[in-house]
């Protein structure tokens, strides 16, 4: 049952790899800088520390959101490609149906002409 829903793994893009590396660097360096600042201020909590922690967390959230945007963009491009393919198939089906209707109209016209000719001959 799980095999039905399993999607094949996709390859990570260069942007995603760079974002991951940069995010980890910001995470580690930011943590140590805030820790060192906290220790150097005597372990007290002040507005500077609150602002630094808030900015650091905001930057980490920004990395997560940009990764999500990249994933959404990739999924949308896939959906758009599938939509274009489906539209082409629908155009072909529509054209085939239109040709069929034209053929049926010609057949009906031909039969009506024969009926009219037979009625006139009688």
Which residues, at least 6 apart from 66, have a Cβ–Cβ distance to it below 8 Å?
19
Whole-number pLDDT of residue 121: 64
- Over the stretch 35-92, which tens digit does the pLDDT of each residue have? 888 888 887 778 888 888 898 889 889 988 888 888 888 888 888 999 999 999 999 9
**Spatial separation of the C-alpha atoms in residues 81 and 73, rounded to whole Å:** 12
Token digits of residue 41: 């201020």
Mean pLDDT (whole number) for 25-35: 88
Spans of all domains in the chain: 14-115
**Spatial separation of the C-alpha atoms in residues 46 and 43, rounded to whole Å:** 9
- Over the stretch 9-24, which tens digit does the pLDDT of each residue have? 777 778 888 888 988 8
Which single residue is written with the structure tokens 């930057």?
Answer: 59
Token digits of residue 36: 């060192």
Token digits of residue 108: 């009906």
Whole-number pLDDT of residue 7: 64
């Amino acid at each position: 049952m799980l095999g039905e829903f399993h999607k094949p793994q996709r390859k990570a893009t260069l942007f995603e790899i760079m974002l991951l590396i940069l995010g980890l660097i910001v995470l580690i360096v930011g943590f140590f800088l805030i820790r060192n600042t906290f220790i150097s201020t005597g372990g007290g909590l002040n507005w500077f520390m609150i602002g630094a922690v808030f900015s650091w967390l905001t930057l980490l959230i920004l990395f997560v959101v940009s990764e999500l945007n990249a994933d959404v963009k990739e999924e949308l491009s896939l959906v758009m490609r599938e939509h274009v393919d489906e539209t082409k198939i629908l155009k072909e089906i529509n054209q085939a149906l239109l040709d069929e209707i034209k053929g049926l109209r010609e057949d009906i016209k031909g039969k009506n002409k024969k009926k009219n000719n037979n009625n006139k001959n009688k």
